[in-house]
């Protein structure tokens, strides 16, 4: 009799979930990916190009879609998981439609959602028409339409505001979302490519260029594209009578307050855990980080393990990560799941 392969359920069909699915499929496990949306690919579908090399996000989506040809996982879309009930032998994954699935191991890869910029009312998102978010800007780039203000003219001066919804106790997020700094640099360059005549300013608290080629891109933004970086958190934005925006900040390096007018303001929104992650985590008895992400069992040794044996976490549901880091994290989680399942199998055979 051939043995039934052990079954792994992956919750979330974004980059983390799909990469883990193809890695686990490669070694012969039965894998089911549960995706709550109609399509897999997660937030990659909202992004036009990726930092730092301006790779079209479609290339990564294509890679993920082709990653598991040998032993393709079962992918179930429109499948929202509401609960995971941990049991000793296996875990029960409960869907919104009442269905219950059994798994030897569960990998949570529910990802992030962007911070709701309306909460920073002082920046006027959804109040002033010419204030948009970094996600809105990506949608604009994807559409291929020329960049215009609401009045229909090309913006002459554009501001990018860093740390919107990050490092801000006022909105309950103390954590750094990590990827917004480099996104701000990337989008400023893309903006300059679209509008060579425009003046572009980035308002930052710190520039956190941690990844390979990030600092290089930051230097390129200054040297090749003439983008100006001003150190200071914007305190407020107000609309002028002509629809342009007046922005106030302290230029902290000169110690002087400043005000400037802009035609368009882009808010670099941070990452928060995806909706439903909290309820899911609680049902499985998991712990949370200060930013309400799913906590790992150990920050150095067991990043992908949780406090509940057999339940693993990967990707941006556990901390803000770039796409490249997410893929690496998913592969790392795979190794841990395999060793855990092997140990389980050995124990049951004895």
Partner 1 sequence: MKDWGYSILKGRQIDFENNDFSIAEFVAQHEPSFKWCIGCGSCTATCSAARLTNFNPRKINLLIQRGETKGLAEEVAKCMMCGKCQLVCPRGINTRNVIQNIKRALNTCHAL
The position carrying tokens 């997660």 is 42
Residue 228 Cβ vs partner 1, minimum distance, rounded to whole Å: 7
* Cβ distance to partner 1 smaller for residue 136 or 199: 199
Residue 153 Cβ vs partner 1, minimum distance, rounded to whole Å: 18
Residue 197 Cβ vs partner 1, minimum distance, rounded to whole Å: 15
Strand-pair partners of 312:
107, 305
Residue 230 Cβ vs partner 1, minimum distance, rounded to whole Å: 9
Residue 200 Cβ vs partner 1, minimum distance, rounded to whole Å: 13
Q: Which of 189, 224, 185 is nearest to 207 (CA)?
A: 185
* Cβ distance to partner 1 smaller for residue 11 or 227: 227
Residues that bind partner 1 in the complex, under the rule CB under 8 A: 207, 219, 222-223, 226, 228-229, 231, 251, 253-254, 256-261
* Cβ distance to partner 1 smaller for residue 44 or 163: 163
* Cβ distance to partner 1 smaller for residue 119 or 231: 231
Report the C-alpha gap between 90 and 29 in whole angstroms: 15
Which positions ≥6 away from 245 have C-beta within 8 Å?
124, 128, 130, 131, 159, 237, 238, 239, 261, 262, 263, 264, 265
* Cβ distance to partner 1 smaller for residue 264 or 341: 264
Residue 258 Cβ vs partner 1, minimum distance, rounded to whole Å: 4
Strand-pair partners of 31:
8
* Cβ distance to partner 1 smaller for residue 62 or 206: 206
């Amino acid at each position: 009799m051939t043995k039934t392969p052990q079954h792994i359920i992956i919750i979330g069909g974004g980059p983390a979930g799909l990469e883990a699915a193809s890695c686990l499929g490669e070694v012969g496990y039965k894998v089911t990916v549960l995706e709550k949306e109609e399509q897999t690919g997660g937030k990659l579908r909202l992004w036009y190009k990726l930092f730092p090399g301006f790779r079209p996000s479609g290339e990564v989506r294509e890679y993920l879609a082709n990653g598991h040809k040998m032993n393709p996982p079962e992918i179930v879309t429109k499948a929202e998981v509401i609960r995971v009930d941990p049991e000793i032998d296996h875990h029960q994954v409960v869907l919104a439609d009442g269905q219950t699935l059994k798994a030897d191991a569960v990998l949570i890869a529910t990802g992030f959602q962007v911070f709701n910029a309306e909460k920073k009312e002082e920046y006027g998102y959804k109040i002033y028409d010419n204030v948009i978010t970094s996600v809105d800007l990506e949608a604009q780039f994807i559409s291929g339409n020329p960049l215009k203000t609401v009045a229909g003219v090309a913006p002459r001066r554009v501001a990018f505001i860093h740390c919107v919804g990050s490092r801000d106790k006022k909105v309950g997020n103390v954590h750094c979302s990590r990827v917004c700094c480099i996104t701000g640099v990337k989008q400023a360059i893309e903006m300059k490519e679209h509008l060579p005549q425009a003046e572009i300013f980035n308002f930052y608290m710190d520039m956190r260029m941690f990844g390979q080629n990030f600092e290089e891109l930051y230097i390129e933004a200054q040297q090749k594209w003439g983008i100006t970086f001003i150190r200071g958190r914007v305190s407020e934005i107000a609309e002028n009578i002509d629809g342009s925006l007046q922005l106030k900040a302290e230029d902290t390096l000169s110690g002087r307050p400043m005000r400037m007018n802009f035609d368009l303001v882009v808010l670099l929104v941070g990452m928060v855990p995806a909706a439903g992650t909290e309820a899911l985590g609680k049902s499985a008895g998991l712990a949370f980080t200060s930013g309400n992400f799913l906590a790992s069992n150990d920050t150095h040794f067991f990043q992908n393990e949780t406090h509940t044996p057999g339940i693993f976490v990967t990707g941006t549901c556990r901390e803000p990560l770039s796409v490249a880091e997410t893929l690496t994290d998913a592969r790392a989680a795979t190794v841990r799941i395999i060793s855990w399942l092997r140990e389980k199998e050995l124990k049951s055979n004895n």
